[in-house]
Amino acid sequence: MPPGGLEPHPVSAPGSSATPAPAIIVVSDAGPLIALGRLDLIGLLGALFAEVQVPQAVIQECLARPDNPDALRIRQALDQGRLVACPTPLQTLAGLDAGESAAIVHAKATGAAVLLDERVGRQRALAMGLTVIGTLGVLVRARQRELIGPVGPLIAALRASGQRLSQPVVLRALVAVGEAAP
């Protein structure tokens, strides 16, 4: 059972009546993958995006503790092709860890959006003109498409697992899905 005693939320299966995934390709950093792995919601990515590319540097970070449930779920998604491994770019960005740098550089080179949670990395990606989506953005999109139930309990589970989420960002997410007043 995922953190906080939450049962995994159903994710629409291919061929279901749910709206098809938009034709958005994203490149992911480790943070969103680990967070969604903790919630057992990696499957949301395939329902929300056309393709999720993951640089090798990010894969190494995600699988550093291979026996953790989130790492096992990420490994399974890679093995099943729901996450697509891609090379780590040679170019690096100063002040960012290898995974963040790889995700941003690869997204910029391919014209993809980037899944990223860390504030400094997000600021750098936005300054480079990239579309940036964080873990909470994934949850909001999934809720808006009725792929998951309420977002509040998922945020509580993330916080209980040690995920740092700023209150203003949490409030914006809850307002976006109608779980808090503006």
In this structure, what CATH number is given to the domain that contains residue 25? 3.40.50.1010
The average confidence (pLDDT) of the chain is 89
Task: Tell me, yes or no, whether 164 lies in a domain.
Answer: no
| Average pLDDT of the segment spanning 68-84 | 96
Query: Does residue 3 carry a pLDDT above 50?
Result: no
| Average pLDDT of the segment spanning 22-41 | 95
Task: Tell me, yes or no, whether 16 lies in a domain.
Answer: no
Q: How far apart are CA 108 and CA 122, in angstroms?
A: 13
**Range list of β-strands (E), the chain:** 25-28, 51-55, 84-86, 113-115, 132-133
Contact 133, 127 (CB under 8 A): no
Task: Tell me, yes or no, whether 60 lies in a domain.
Answer: yes
| The model's pTM | 0.87
Task: Tell me, yes or no, whether 46 lies in a domain.
Answer: yes
**Region for 6 from its dihedrals, namely left if φ exceeds 0, alpha if ψ lies in -120 to 50, beta otherwise:** beta
pLDDT at res. 19: 56
Domain residues for 144? 21-148
pLDDT at res. 181: 87
Considering only CA atoms, which of 164, 3, 149 is closest in space to residue 68?
A: 3
Number of folded domains in the chain? 1
Q: How far apart are CA 156 and CA 130, in angstroms?
A: 29
Specify the range with the lowest mean pLDDT, choosing from 4-13, 34-43, 152-161: 4-13
Helices (H), 39-68: 44-48, 56-62
**β-pairing, 51-55 with 84-86?**
parallel
Task: Tell me, yes or no, whether 7 lies in a domain.
Answer: no
